[in-house]
Amino acid sequence: MRKEVFFLGAGFSKAVNFNYPLLKELTDTVNSNFINKYSQSALKAHFDEIPDTLKINIEQLLTYLSSDCPWTTSIQKDMNTALYKALTKEISNYIEDIETTKINQNIIDFIKYINGRESPIITLNYDTLLESLSSPHSLIQV
């Protein structure tokens, strides 16, 4: 018996629905929305203190904010947590606002094929598009 695993990269959702952003689009939009919403706040001041090299990739930024670094003070940790929550809320709002479009028949056939194989699926996607199209038999999101 042959075992197979389906490993779907972050571009999968973009192929299903062109309105879903790739990482750069997501980063730019979330950062812009955050800056506009929190322009005169302590969270924005904290955001400005973070190196720009981290802010160009929302995944790296969230990883940094959620890391328990031994050199950060308790206040910095609390600010990191608050900023993490604000940014993830912006991501959630952005994904929820995406218009749903008719899904291409090729994608529907692909999902039916995956479901029929009952193979594990590993996805790097940040959204729940695959989950909404698949049966819940063996989905792993990393």
Q: Compute mean pLDDT per 10 residues along the chain, 142 residues long, and list them.
A: 72 78 92 95 96 94 93 94 96 81 73 76 68 54 44
Inside any domain, residue 1: no
Kindly report the backbone phi and psi dihedral angles of residue 116, in degrees, each rounded to the nearest multiple of 5, phi listed first. Answer: -65, -30
What confidence score (pLDDT) does residue 16 get? 75
Q: Are residues 90 and 117 in the same domain?
A: no
Residue showing tokens 């930024």 = 61
Query: Which tokens is 130 given?
Result: 């695959």
How far apart CA 19 and CA 21 sit, in angstroms, is: 6
Q: Which domain holds residue 11?
A: 6-20+99-141
Residue showing tokens 């940094």 = 64
Q: Name the domain count of the chain.
A: 2
What confidence score (pLDDT) does residue 133 get? 63
The dihedral through the CA atoms of 42, 44, 48, 49 has a sign that is: positive
Query: Which tokens is 37 given?
Result: 């919403």
